[in-house]
Amino acid sequence: MTGTPLGGRFPDAVDSVASAVVPRPVVPARRPRHLGSLVWWIVFAIGFLYFFLPLLGTFAFSMRSQPLFSAYAVVVDDPQFAESLFYSFLVGIITIVVSTILIVPTAFWVRLRLPRLRPYIEFITLLPFVIPPIILVFGLLRSYSGDPFPLAGTDFGSNVLLVAAYVVLSFPYMYRAVDTGLRAIDVRSLTEASQSLGASWFTLLVRVIFPNLRVSLLSGAFLTLAIVVGEFTIATFLARPAFGPYISLIGGNKAYEPAAVSLISFGLTWIAMGLLGLIGRQSRQKIQIAGAH
């Protein structure tokens, strides 16, 4: 899992990887056309090679260290590896929690009471694409280095800035996931139903809205995690002991170990995406069940 250039993928891609929140219309069966399918096989083969050659190269490179797999052993034994990974995961989890607390009530409230505000909120959640991470961290450093909020000067302050920046990066994915999730559950009826049963706003959010959004939240969370763990740009300039800067650090200092770390990082990305796909598949069934009522 690594920091992607623009802080990850665009929201459309969220839907397409996970298909977690919107049930896609059934794709009509297409008639296979055998003529010319050779061309498409070749195209696929090129894509396949492009995808796997760098991984294969990295793996082969990591095997140059003797004995075999020793590069991996060194990496796993390195306390900094575990520490930085743990740190990044922790930051990722906190990011998801903060992002959820900010986004869910907002998206819920906008749907329920301020529908006219929706385009503006949507626009704001897209801003992180306009402000790339390098610019964001640049601005954060300049704004919060001096009075009245000298956050960048302390460890705690820098951690706050890191989480804040990641929360901003997560907005597009989280908002999109939650908003489509809310669309599927008919917020208004649920709200009126639970209020007529005497539930408070807090109970409503915690006992009714959150559980109904579990699938959307999970898919948004995994994407956020995939982006945050391994993010390089922001963590580096805030001088945080995160996984991304760690990879870069050993990349500059060691011979074979960086290859091992790269592949491990790739494996983590794969796991995150695999889980995302799994949730997507489950959610489609869930939505179907809900739709049968």
Using CA atoms, how far residue 92 sits from 88, 250, 263, in Å, is 6, 22, 20
Rule CB under 8 A: which of 6-45 touch another protein?
A: 6, 8-10, 12-13, 15-17, 24, 27-30, 32-34, 36-37, 39-41, 43-44
Task: Please pick, from the candidates 90, 93, 164, 190, the single residue that binds another protein as defined by CB under 8 A.
Answer: 164
d(CA 101, CA 210): 10
Rule CB under 8 A: which of 81-120 touch another protein?
A: 102-103, 105-106, 109-110, 113-114, 117
The DSSP code for 133 is: H
Task: Please pick, from the candidates 83, 89, 132, 284, the single residue that binds another protein as defined by CB under 8 A.
Answer: 132
d(CA 92, CA 156): 16
Q: Annotate each residue in 174-213 with x if it binds another protein (CB under 8 A) or - if it does not, as one string.
A: ----------------------------------------
Which stretch, 46-54, 69-77, 79-87, 187-195, contacts another protein (CB under 8 A)?
Answer: 46-54
Contact 276, 17 (CB under 8 A): yes
Task: Please give the structure tokens belonging to residue 99.
Answer: 């992002």
Nearest approach, Cβ of residue 247 and another protein (Å): 5
Task: Please pick, from the candidates 23, 266, 284, 286, the single residue that binds another protein as defined by CB under 8 A.
Answer: 266
129 binds another protein (CB under 8 A): yes
Task: Please pick, from the candidates 97, 251, 282, 285, the single residue that binds another protein as defined by CB under 8 A.
Answer: 251
54 binds another protein (CB under 8 A): yes
The DSSP code for 148 is: T
Amino acid letter, residue 241: P
Other CB atoms within 10 A of residue 28 CB:
5
Helix locations, the chain, DSSP H: 11-18, 37-62, 70-77, 79-112, 118-130, 133-143, 155-185, 187-196, 201-203, 210-212, 214-228, 233-237, 243-253, 257-291
Task: Please pick, from the candidates 244, 279, 283, 287, the single residue that binds another protein as defined by CB under 8 A.
Answer: 244
The nearer residue to another protein, 103 or 287, going by C-beta atoms, is 103
Under rule CB under 8 A, how many of the chain's residues touch another protein? 102
